[in-house]
Structure 1
């Protein structure tokens, strides 16, 4: 909702500084956002004497220094424009400075005091120094938006460690800055000065922590440990219905019990039970923790030799994460990473268990769509079945990038909805359980919002925002925390194991998936018969379904590759033997109610038996009157070792509209369809797909010797629907 004071601020900024070419003018919409904050900062820089060419939308070191030199000492005698800027910043923050008039009053000092109090300071002075101005000229919130316990933590850190951290938001949202501030606080308490502390739990900090733990423990360190404990276990206590330890600054009974629960939940060992020893504190401060702790799992992209497997046995691990498909590396360094049946047998024979992982994608948000999830799930399912992975095993689908909440909402959640739909579908002869690999935030969100039961947490990426400040997921089965090597294995990740997933301890006989797996699920006898007779071959030449010279011709080809039609004018999704609701709606909207419903139903007839596919349609009429419809049906990529599965089918249907051959009803139908298609290119592509289903119905008649012209009455029925639609369009024109 627009705010009139924010709008007044935006108008004043543009009026006052809009003549400066380098100034970034905000939209005058009354909405607080970064563009308005940036404009306020640049306006402040102008008042501080920064050259126009040096204006920068950030409150950096130069702005900070100039502010403390020119404004802080003169707080009671500010220029009118500086007052305007500070008042505008307060309105954007949601705190009233008394007005927007460039007049400095007690109300402005009261606003500063309110900001200081919200930030956690009990002794307020009402003076906006550079430290406070940096917090004000920012989008950080200082009112409670989420968890009051987190806000209590943030306010304590501000009040006690602001020299190290600056002023943090106190909105109750645990974020990267909060996590870093806890480490800064710990560094201060173990003896690091402001110049040395860096917010990283590194070797120096760890050494000093051990010294403090053994000889110089303090209440402040107890408080910091309690902060870390709450941040890492908040979901645990919420689900358990047990109150978390209070922030007392004392290693009291609830705190030591909380530490014991944390150590057990994270499977930390060896540790001093219920004590904040180094290994425990390390996991409280960072998502990856101590790489030297005990673990019982590994994962690798390497195809394991017998020597590799023997080394893993010697390494005393029990679980091996392996990829079902794909390659790793690029160019001459590209290598296969997919698990083979022989490798799987050797792993199982050695007494190890397999964790199936699917990642054959690019790590960016836009990859993750619902349809892609369905395709990936089908590929993973068939590959697992071919390997002999038992039914009901978990397969972990990777989200290998730092997904923000917006990415999860818009992309990752639909992807896993698609994955779940396929893996839990009764339409397939194989059934596996969907699981997620990703950051703590991804794993928790996908578990809570999509119902994915198990998580493989990428805690190794300790700097990712999805790990900073998020609790370890309650659904965690595996915890990837360190990259290393061992023996003959050049690249391996260490993985903690919770025991929630027993993984794969035996193999079933390989499921045989033939070339015609997808074709056999359809009701297309017109395709099945010549395919199994050998007339149509995977990756072979096109085959003529029928050819009525001067009238129409249909050809079909089958490919093992997942092919798309770059000229497609319409793309339809097929699920569970019919068009998806969105595709059905698209057809009816494009063609109108009457023709759209008829066409969509005809396409549904053609889709019977298809569990999951995409139909792409293109249409063209050349100068000679030859119309060509191309229908490409793409199934989930089923990449099976040593078997060329028919993953896509391309059908070309040609009509010779200018031929004199058609007579009677057929000629009337041709003329109507030709006219409609020339005037309605997009609609024509859908008509082509529907027409294919209609023409296919001619095939049994043709084999019985019935003339194609005798079937013109059926094609005319379609034409009669087209003609009124075309006529209405002409009348409207």
Structure 2
């Protein structure tokens, strides 16, 4: 919303400084809205009025030093010019304070605004009165707020004001925001405060968690009954790490209880004391880097010697990469042949990581999420990870909050949606800074977080608490082992939320199918539709779709079909043949029966069938792209659930009561509406059929489950069983076999035999 006084401030800059020309900037947009562009212009105007020749957006050390040297403080007695005062008045307005009409006079309204500003900053005790001191002016010329905003915490604001008031006279301490939110500046100010209380001189205290700071903290363990500034700093650090405690100068029993909860959460020794490891975890993201982790990750293959070295060093869980697009860089980054068998042999467990580039915001998009999800799932299956493994998708750069909103969240939503579409073969985790992990997880796009806390300078780590769902906490790079067992790893603390996998599927003896190559589309369409035409199937008077439309619809589900085929070690052609054949036969009589099913369960004829004559009630029909009956789909899914092939709750195939809540209708509706689900269901029906079709009107003798090396007779039997046990199922299966061969010939060419 436009503010009249901000508009006047913008107009003042444009009129006084030749539409920005004198300040080296473009003309300001006069819209009455403050922002960094306005604050930068005001900073340059202040420098201009002070006689600084080289103007800058930054309110840096030169500007600050010259303010002190020239004026000491600014008030009605020292303000050098009317325009200088107007710049101050404009800045006050842009901060939400009454600047006094921008009339160039340091009047009573300006004085009242300055007094309020000092109070809000928490420096009124150090700077009483109505004068503006250099560090306060520096704080005035930025976008920091000094009142609680955006649902901020009043307790955090109290800490911020306390820090400002106690340390503002120290050389390298500047006014921090008092907005009720933890941030990078607040985190650094806490480290400076610790260093000041340790007695470090200005110039030595630098806000870094170095050896001197660590040594000092080791001598400041706090326990119940401790009082004073150290207890106050510790309680402040607890509050800033999302612990529900009071900001107090007393280490109470209640604070000790909260410390124990935090220590348990972070997997620290549970002492209830404000000890060094707890101080470290509160002040820097990586905490005490000497901690021994049970997990590690790296880009080096785990050989027998290295596995033994890791085991000897106390490691249980090893993070390894599913994929490396480079053929030259980091040649062992991707899991190597036989490596998972070695990990299993030595009693270790592995958690998979997916990262190709992922080091800038431009990488992340909805489309990239689809590609990465498919590739990660295929690679996880190829390497031997069993269904349900957590794959950690990486955000390996310092993503700021706006980028998380604009790029990272849509990317992970795309991964989640694609994984669901493919039948959820694997679960989704995230690797990244704290803020990224927390936001993606809160949105429901990741189950667990692998936190890149080693990157302590990331804005996404500074000022953010540990994600509640953290599984691994990456704290330091170190070397393990010697000789043939030597390797460099990232040392990770493990929470126990993810223990990886310790058993893996053996690689299949034959190549599995991969995604369809669209360069083969026209050739496949010519053969597949031509064959159907030659046998007189499809595009009859009652058919709804052309053969080409049917084929393209099936190929649009290729990601799902590929995922199902790879997961259950069957050929894609089994699913493609069945779905394409059935869809080519979908006609007006099927549409009429579909309308009848809706009519039966809901009591109303659907709008799309309102003009169709003779809609009769049916409790089931062959529907969807693969002409799947609700009862058949329920039997197939129930079988898969019972065998642990999929997760879910079994449905009652005999529940055909006339209600939208009937189990038969719920399954029928899903295969009718969800093409991806229907394609997945075809694969499960083939598995159920091979197992003997338990629950069907006529069960059959069990046969070998669908496999990559199915013989022609096995392919025929599974295709026939899908259609039933009476004619024309047998004769149609004979006709389906050449169609299977067509699909398989293209799949074989694409996968490389």
Same fold (TM over 0.5): yes
Match of 1:34 in 2: 36
Match of 1:501 in 2: 498
3-state DSSP of counterpart to 1:155: helix
Give me the whole-angstrom Cα distance separating, in 2, the residues matched to 1:600 and 1:150.
Answer: 66
1:388 is the counterpart of 2:384: yes
1:415 is the counterpart of 2:411: yes
Residue from 361, 366, 373 that aligns with 1:370: 366
CA contact (8 A) 1:59 1:137 kept: yes
Match of 2:315 in 1: 317
1:125 is the counterpart of 2:129: yes
Give me the whole-angstrom Cα distance separating, in 2, the residues matched to 1:600 and 1:459.
Answer: 56
1:102 is the counterpart of 2:104: yes
CA contact (8 A) 2:437 2:451 kept: yes
C-alpha displacement at 1:511, in angstroms? 5.2
1:17 is the counterpart of 2:27: no
Residue from 140, 145, 149 that aligns with 1:141: 145
Give me the whole-angstrom Cα distance separating, in 2, the residues matched to 1:184 and 1:370.
Answer: 42
Give me the whole-angstrom Cα distance separating, in 1, the residues matched to 2:457 and 2:74.
Answer: 41
3-state DSSP of counterpart to 1:383: helix
Match of 1:462 in 2: 456
Match of 1:5 in 2: 5
Match of 2:187 in 1: 179
CA contact (8 A) 1:522 1:610 kept: no
1:63 is the counterpart of 2:63: yes
Match of 2:207 in 1: 199
Give me the whole-angstrom Cα distance separating, in 1, the residues matched to 2:74 and 2:248.
Answer: 40
Give me the whole-angstrom Cα distance separating, in 1, the residues matched to 2:454 and 2:472.
Answer: 12
The C-alpha deviation readout for 1:124-144, integer Å capped at 9, x for no partner, is 311111111101111111121
Match of 1:112 in 2: 114
1:227 is the counterpart of 2:229: no
Give me the whole-angstrom Cα distance separating, in 2, the residues matched to 1:485 and 1:529.
Answer: 59
1:361 is the counterpart of 2:357: yes
C-alpha displacement at 1:88, in angstroms? 0.2
Residue from 149, 153, 168 that aligns with 2:159: 153
Residue from 467, 481, 485 that aligns with 1:473: 467
Give me the whole-angstrom Cα distance separating, in 2, the residues matched to 1:407 and 1:156.
Answer: 32
3-state DSSP of counterpart to 2:398: coil
Match of 1:342 in 2: 338
CA root-mean-square deviation: 3.4
Residues 441/604 of structure 1: CA separation in 2 closer, same or farther (3 Å cut): farther
C-alpha displacement at 1:121, in angstroms? 3.4
Match of 1:305 in 2: 303
The C-alpha deviation readout for 1:16-55, integer Å capped at 9, x for no partner, is 122755532422222211121111111111211122xx11
3-state DSSP of counterpart to 1:196: coil
Residues 286/80 of structure 1: CA separation in 2 closer, same or farther (3 Å cut): same
C-alpha displacement at 1:76, in angstroms? 1.9
CA contact (8 A) 1:379 1:639 kept: no
Give me the whole-angstrom Cα distance separating, in 2, the residues matched to 1:343 and 1:356.
Answer: 13
Residues 502/71 of structure 1: CA separation in 2 closer, same or farther (3 Å cut): same
CA contact (8 A) 1:395 1:435 kept: yes
3-state DSSP of counterpart to 1:480: strand
Structure 2 portions without partners, runs of 5+? 532-543, 574-753
Give me the whole-angstrom Cα distance separating, in 2, the residues matched to 1:390 and 1:528.
Answer: 35
Match of 1:695 in 2: none
C-alpha displacement at 1:11, in angstroms? 1.5
Match of 2:169 in 1: 163
Give me the whole-angstrom Cα distance separating, in 2, the residues matched to 1:479 and 1:512.
Answer: 37
Give me the whole-angstrom Cα distance separating, in 2, the residues matched to 1:126 and 1:600.
Answer: 82
Structure 1 portions without partners, runs of 5+? 235-243, 532-544, 547-597, 615-634, 647-733
1:92 is the counterpart of 2:112: no
Aligned pairs (5 A) from 1:300-699: 300-326=298-324, 334-425=330-421, 427-428=422-423, 431-487=425-481, 488-510=485-507, 514=511, 516-519=513-516, 527=524, 606-611=552-557
Structure number with the higher strand fraction is: 1
Give me the whole-angstrom Cα distance separating, in 1, the residues matched to 2:489 and 2:90.
Answer: 54
CA contact (8 A) 2:516 2:558 kept: no
Residues 101/422 of structure 1: CA separation in 2 closer, same or farther (3 Å cut): same
Match of 1:246 in 2: 246
Give me the whole-angstrom Cα distance separating, in 2, the residues matched to 1:449 and 1:359.
Answer: 21
C-alpha displacement at 1:436, in angstroms? 0.7
Residues 35/529 of structure 1: CA separation in 2 closer, same or farther (3 Å cut): closer
CA contact (8 A) 1:231 1:469 kept: yes
Give me the whole-angstrom Cα distance separating, in 1, the residues matched to 2:428 and 2:254.
Answer: 37
Residues 512/10 of structure 1: CA separation in 2 closer, same or farther (3 Å cut): farther
Give me the whole-angstrom Cα distance separating, in 2, the residues matched to 1:312 and 1:95.
Answer: 60
Residues 600/490 of structure 1: CA separation in 2 closer, same or farther (3 Å cut): farther
Give me the whole-angstrom Cα distance separating, in 2, the residues matched to 1:214 and 1:261.
Answer: 16
Give me the whole-angstrom Cα distance separating, in 2, the residues matched to 1:407 and 1:39.
Answer: 26
Match of 1:568 in 2: none
C-alpha displacement at 1:4, in angstroms? 1.7
CA contact (8 A) 1:386 1:512 kept: no
C-alpha displacement at 1:382, in angstroms? 1.1
Match of 1:45 in 2: 47
Give me the whole-angstrom Cα distance separating, in 1, the residues matched to 2:369 and 2:410.
Answer: 8
CA contact (8 A) 2:280 2:288 kept: yes
3-state DSSP of counterpart to 1:424: helix
The C-alpha deviation readout for 1:150-196, integer Å capped at 9, x for no partner, is 11111111111112421111011211000011111111111112232
Give me the whole-angstrom Cα distance separating, in 2, the residues matched to 1:499 and 1:144.
Answer: 37
CA contact (8 A) 1:387 1:511 kept: no
The C-alpha deviation readout for 1:402-429, integer Å capped at 9, x for no partner, is 111111111111111111122223x45x
